Amino acid sequence: MGDQAVPAGQSVLSLKGGRQMLRLQSPLPERYISASGAELAEMIGAAKATLGRRLFILGHHYQRDDVMRWADARGDSFGLSRTAAGVTEAEFIVFCGVHFMAESADVLTADSQQVLLPDLNAGCSMADMADIEQVEEAWEELAQVTDVRRIVPITYMNSSAALKAFVGRHEGAVCTSSNARAVLTWALQDGRGDKVLFFPDQHLGRNTGFELGYGASDMQVWNPRLALGGLSDLEVKESTLLLWKGHCSVHQRFRPEHITAFREEHPDGIVMVHPECAHEVVEMADLVGSTDNLIRGVAAAPAGAVIGVATEIHLVKRLDDESPDKTVVCLDPLICPCSTMSRIDPPHLAWVLEGLVEGEVRNRIQVDAEVAEWARVALERMLAIT
Ligand code: 13P
Ligand code: SF4
């Protein structure tokens, strides 16, 4: 479907080349754009009250405060997938997060439940760094040089449902930043395989590999733009972890110099970083963890602590606001918002909720049935491992 076929104020998901999802979000009607913060809060509150238990709003920790205040449950991507799987009563699940999270929620909820994403342009640049064509091509190339039955494909939660279905079909699993260690242990150390193809975040894969005791020589970066990932046959054969050349544009900004500068200013300061940061940053941290783990880490720090955090700025600011006895600062002085997470704002939230009140489901995220079946296998494997 082309842009001209999108009705005003509506949005669609369309298929490019029959497989790749293209997200389109047309502009909102004027009343949402011109409304004040107070008017939008009134619209959202009224719609939420009218919908009652028919509605459940999930909020990822990177959401802005003026959206997060409406969430019935907050969480990291693992926690939210578990919560979504357990929300059996609500007819509508509005996901304040990014596209891959809403897809996973759709896969894990009943067919009778509908998942909505307030702005279809809330994607994830890292998730877009691996698509199903590239992964299938990589698999075929690997099959030329090694026994792919001994390779366990692992996809980070930050990936399309098509990639989750791929790993489901090939005896692999999904992982998140909070359970990557358990999932890699399951893949490599419980006799399941000799190698892992890990996509799309090389940093989470590398950091977890080091955590499990593998060395730099056990890991190779797979560049999907090059033949055989840019590797020799021998490099493929001798590696244990093949790490897809993908990264998070927010977390890659954090550098060791930021930590050095923080420690110079706060010799007793505590450094906490997300595992999507580069290994040289992770090595210098006192705590490495998913967004939920960072929140727990800050809560456990002693009163008076100064904590430097390497993650998305909305979470860092909320941690500071909600910890009056501690000082929480972002390790990157230039501050890094996740531009796609920030697309979920009160106007879009009000627009989808008022649509539901009027009987119109806007921005439903619905994964193709066959893809969903295999993606569920991969997600449920992850839930069973952790
Ligand atoms: P968490 O699983 O830690 O919430 O991370 C999700 C994410 O997108 C981090 O960039
Ligand atoms: Fe994707 Fe990075 Fe944003 Fe997380 S912070 S949603 S990985 S772009």
User: Is residue 106 over pLDDT 70?
Assistant: yes
Q: What is the DSSP letter of 186?
A: I
CATH assignment of 127-248, given 3.40.50.80, 3.40.50.10800, 1.10.3720.10, 3.10.20.30? 3.40.50.10800
Determine the distance separating the centroid of ligand 2 and the alpha carbon of 100, expressed in angstroms. Answer: 10
Give residue-wise pLDDT tens across range 120-131.
999 999 999 999
**Atom from ligand 1 closest to the CA of residue 76:** 4
> 18-27, 101-110, 286-295, 360-369: which has the minimum mean pLDDT?
18-27
CA gap 277, 246 in Å, rounded = 12
Task: Kindly tell me if the per-residue pLDDT of 264 is higher than 80.
Answer: yes
- Across the range 275-301, mean pLDDT stands at 98
Q: Which residues contact 280 (CB under 8 A, 6 or more apart)?
A: 256
Distance 126 CA to ligand 2 centre (A): 6
Q: How far is CA 364 from CA 12, 86, 117, 129, 164, in A?
A: 8, 19, 7, 24, 19
pLDDT of residue 3 exceeding 50, the answer is no
> How far does the chain reach from its first CA to its final CA, in angstroms?
40
Q: What is the pLDDT of residues 48-90, one digit of tens each?
A: 999 999 999 999 999 999 999 999 999 999 899 999 999 999 9
The closest residue, in CA terms, to atom 8 on ligand 1 is: 158
Task: Measure the CA–CA gap between 207 and 288, rounded to whole angstroms.
Answer: 10
Whether 8 shows a pLDDT value over 90: the answer reads: no
In Å, how far are 114, 140, 143, 144, 217 from 228, measured between CA atoms?
40, 9, 10, 9, 18
Domain with CATH 3.40.50.10800 in the chain: 12-123+340-367, 127-248, 251-330
**pLDDT tens digit sequence for 146-180:** 999 999 999 999 999 999 999 999 999 999 999 99
Residue 177 near ligand 1, beta carbon < 6 Å: yes
Q: Give residue-wise pLDDT tens across range 208-231.
A: 999 999 999 999 999 999 999 999
Question: Ligand 2: which atom is nearest the Cα of residue 201?
Answer: 7
pLDDT of residue 21: 52
Residue 27 and residue 19: Cα distance in Å, rounded?
A: 25
**16: confidence class by pLDDT, cuts 50, 70, 90:** very low
Q: Does the beta carbon of 63 sit less than 6 angstroms from any atom of ligand 1?
A: no
Third-level CATH fold of 12-123+340-367: Rossmann fold (3.40.50)
pTM higher than 0.75: yes
Distance in Å, CA 124 to ligand 2 centroid: 5
User: Rounded to the nearest 5°, which phi and psi values hold at 207?
Assistant: -60, -40
Q: Average the pLDDT over 181-205 and give the result.
A: 95
The reported pLDDT for the residue numbered 320 is 98
| CA dist., res. 106 & res. 114, Å (int) | 7
Distance, in Å, from the CA atom of 161 to the CA atom of 104, rounded to the nearest integer, reads 7
What CA–CA distance (Å, rounded) separates 181 from 382?
A: 11
Determine whether the shortest distance from the Cβ of 341 to ligand 2 is under 6 A. Answer: yes
pLDDT at 10: 42
- CATH class of residue range 251-330: alpha beta
The angle, 0 to 180 degrees and rounded to 10, between the axes of the packed helices 132-145 and 161-169 is 30
What is the CA(190)–ligand 2 centre distance, in A?
30
CA distance 297 to 76: 14
Average pLDDT, integer, range 257-269: 98
Amino acid (one-letter) located at 171: E
Structure confidence by residue, pLDDT tens digits, 239-257: 999 999 999 999 999 999 9
d(CA 275, CA 208): 8
Tell me which ligand sits closest to the C-alpha of residue 201: 2
CA–centroid distance, 290 to ligand 2, in Å, is 12
Cβ 158 under 6 angstroms from ligand 1: yes
Mutating to test ligand 1, I would choose from 98, 204, 274 the residue with most ligand atoms within 8 A of its C-beta, which is 274
Please work out whether the CB of residue 352 comes within 6 Å of at least one atom of ligand 2. Answer: no
Identify the residue whose C-alpha is closest to ligand 2 atom 3: 338
CA of 122 to the centre of ligand 1 (A): 14
pLDDT given at position 22: 59
Mean pLDDT of the chain: 93
Specify the 3-state DSSP secondary structure of 223: coil
Question: By alpha-carbon position, which residue is closest to atom 1 of ligand 2?
Answer: 124
Query: What is the mean pLDDT of the segment spanning 108-122?
Result: 97
Residue 18: pLDDT above 50? no
| Predicted pLDDT at 6 | 40
Q: Is the CB of 340 under 6 A from ligand 2?
A: yes
| Structure confidence at residue 17 as a pLDDT band (50, 70, 90) | very low
How far is the centre of ligand 1, averaged over its atoms, from the C-alpha of 167 (Å)? 20
The more confident residue out of 352 and 8 is 352
